[in-house]
Amino acid sequence: MALVIGAIAALAAVLAHACFDFVLHIPILAIITSALLAILAVPGQKKAPLVGEPRVSKFASGTCLFTRTVCPGIGTALLIFGVMFARSEWHFEMARLRYESSSGSLKQLDHLRQAREIDPHNPFAHNLGADAYVAAIDPKMPLVVQEAYLKKAETHYRSALKLYTQEVFGAIGFAEVLDAAGKSLEAERVLNNARTWVPLYGPVMQAQAEHWLRVGNVELAESYYHEARDAAAFRDWRAALSGLEKIAEWRKLTAANAKITDDEGQTEKASTTEDLADLE
């Protein structure tokens, strides 16, 4: 009975997590879930009936039969898929480790290709591929190569977003690539869609502020930086304050340049007036 209660509690926790994130793409969770279903399917030996014991109702008997037939079937399917997709997860982890050790080398692309071949519906393999192409871009590269890398990254981000619309970190990277490709309107739509899924999420507010700063709308960027600084979830106030300081410095430089321009204009006007007086 303790194992059954524990299995029910664990499955309830997995299902509650699944309401907010896609969890069964991790093979070990599928394997653990199959073990929990096995516990539910065979909760223990049935005790021998006592003389005069009332018969079990048909509903209870049907429920027990349903549990002991359906749970093993689902558990077996999860176990098979978990073992099968463990290979894809291994390639993905190898690619992730190579990306973290040398992000600009593109050594991880072969592992990512194999991971996508085994599990073509894994959006994180597409996202990591896009991140790899973005990280490999060097300003010293020819423009044709940089554009090709951006195009590859855009393709992978688009595929990942189609597979998993709620993945906000991929949306943030996708918006940066779209801004770099000159597609600012689509980048705005991508970030707005991400904001609908996580309206209180600080990183998305920060990404919106950086998007408007790249576009050149300083007022909107400042308002989103203020939102990101006071975000209710995953607030990174240091990054938000850094953005606000950047805007303040830009305004100071703009005001100083405007003052210099006005001073030069007044000097030029005074010089013109003196020249006219000399001519007269």
Q: What is the pLDDT of residue 276?
A: 43
Q: What is the pLDDT of residue 76?
A: 84
Instruction: With beta carbons less than 8 A apart as the criterion, state whether 166 and 172 touch.
Output: no
pTM: 0.69
Instruction: With beta carbons less than 8 A apart as the criterion, state whether 78 and 46 touch.
Output: no
Residues 57-95 have pLDDT tens digits of 565 566 677 777 777 888 888 888 888 788 888 999 899
User: Which residue spans within the chain are E strands per DSSP?
Assistant: none
Mean pLDDT score across all residues of the chain:
83
Residues 96-139 have pLDDT tens digits of 998 888 766 788 889 999 999 988 888 999 999 999 999 888 88
Q: What is the pLDDT of residue 190?
A: 94
Full set of structural domains in the chain with CATH: 102-197 (1.25.40.10), 198-262 (no CATH)
**What's the rounded Cα separation, in Å, for the pair 266 and 275?**
14
